[in-house]
Structure 1
């Protein structure tokens, strides 16, 4: 069962990270170029999961996923089954819960772009696709790796959100954090130690890789 829970956790983290990178890149780009009123409010909403108890977010998502509400009704009409307590619900909750871990590193990277490079490219009438391919994306690669790594690692450690909207369904919503809780509740500390050790080692290795890549990228940037 723990192998199944670990596999489901890895699947959830991968899908969540993939969606976040698609969503967070244009969001962070627009935020980095936004100077008008309301920016602070949008940034605060994006960063809210950093300070909001996960169970609070999970509770409101559970209400939204209910067939008694518009979003839940629309999902039921479109797919023929309720959204709550499904893997898809975990994905939506994970995307919202890990959103700041993807947006903030990308936003920092976009704000550090040298305006002169983009201005010169615009003066030379370089197409926007070429600007992204040859100027923006190469400069953003270290930040994108950090965003993806943090999103993946943060999703692995989710508990409150996934418990509220996913419950504890083996093979569907029983991720590693839920399985660990089950072992502790059952006083099965041997299994709990084993699963906790796996999560600890994986999280530590991810963070080591991120810090190593960040230091290497920083050194390369300074060398340029």
Structure 2
């Protein structure tokens, strides 16, 4: 299961995007089922784009969460169990608060990772202006049109945004670490 979840980390994004396109398209298992129920298939839609991005970024969510859950240890769960906390109670009142740094890191890393995604996005979402065109594809379009000034401006925004997100994660993780030690 772990290898399957981590597969998007090593699989070329266009390969993942191609198979997601087949799955979410009108003849795919998900897209065909949706159409038989009277809904629209998900290929070349914003919803399909979001699903593709989530699957592509799954390793960037799972790794910090796995580390955070493992760091909580079994002892706190055993203590909560002796106090008659249900498994759901133990998760929400013990594990989740102790793993908050992992949740924060997972959310920011997956969002930042998705910002620059190209292969899955172009395969699943296409390049429909105003609907599924994202910044990374817009940069490509500008470069292809030899409009380097626009490509540079958009790329610079993504660099600043990505760097700011990483700075925020590191700063908040340090803050939570200090607060966790002090309390």
Instruction: Give the TM-score category using the shorter length.
Output: over 0.9
Post-superposition Cα deviations, 1:137-162, rounded to whole Å, max 9, x if no partner, equal: 21111111001111111111111100
Shift of 1:120: 1.3
Stretches of structure 1 that go unaligned for 5 or more consecutive residues are 1-41
- Is the contact between residue 116 and residue 136 of structure 2 (CA under 8 Å) also seen in structure 1? yes
Q: For 1:125, which of 77, 84, 91 is the aligned residue?
A: 84
Post-superposition Cα deviations, 1:51-85, rounded to whole Å, max 9, x if no partner, equal: 11100100111111232232221122235323211
Q: For 1:69, which of 3, 17, 28 is the aligned residue?
A: 28
Alignment of 1:189-208 (within 5 A): 189-208=148-167
Post-superposition Cα deviations, 1:71-119, rounded to whole Å, max 9, x if no partner, equal: 2211222353232111111011011101111111111111111322111
Q: Aligned partners of 1:55 and 1:187: how far apart in 2? A: 24
- Is the contact between residue 76 and residue 83 of structure 1 (CA under 8 Å) also seen in structure 2? no
Q: For 2:47, which of 88, 93, 96 is the aligned residue?
A: 88
- Is the contact between residue 30 and residue 41 of structure 2 (CA under 8 Å) also seen in structure 1? no
Alignment of 1:75-154 (within 5 A): 75-154=34-113
Q: Aligned partners of 1:220 and 1:115: how far apart in 2? A: 22
Two-structure CA RMSD over aligned residues (Å): 1.5
Q: Name the CA shift for 1:178/1:79 in 2 (closer, same or farther; >3 Å).
A: farther
User: How many residue pairs align between the two structures?
Assistant: 183
Q: Aligned partners of 2:131 and 2:18: how far apart in 1? A: 19
Equivalent position of 1:30 in the other structure: none
- Is the contact between residue 67 and residue 73 of structure 1 (CA under 8 Å) also seen in structure 2? yes
Alignment of 1:43-62 (within 5 A): 43-62=2-21
Q: What TM-score results when the alignment is normalised by the length of structure 1?
A: 0.77
Shift of 1:220: 3.3
Higher relative contact order (CA 8 A, sep 6+): 1
Equivalent position of 1:36 in the other structure: none
Q: What TM-score results when the alignment is normalised by the length of structure 2?
A: 0.93
- Is the contact between residue 55 and residue 164 of structure 1 (CA under 8 Å) also seen in structure 2? yes
Post-superposition Cα deviations, 1:141-184, rounded to whole Å, max 9, x if no partner, equal: 11110011111111111111000111110111101111110000
Shift of 1:49: 1.0
Q: Name the CA shift for 1:74/1:204 in 2 (closer, same or farther; >3 Å).
A: same
Stretches of structure 2 that go unaligned for 5 or more consecutive residues are none
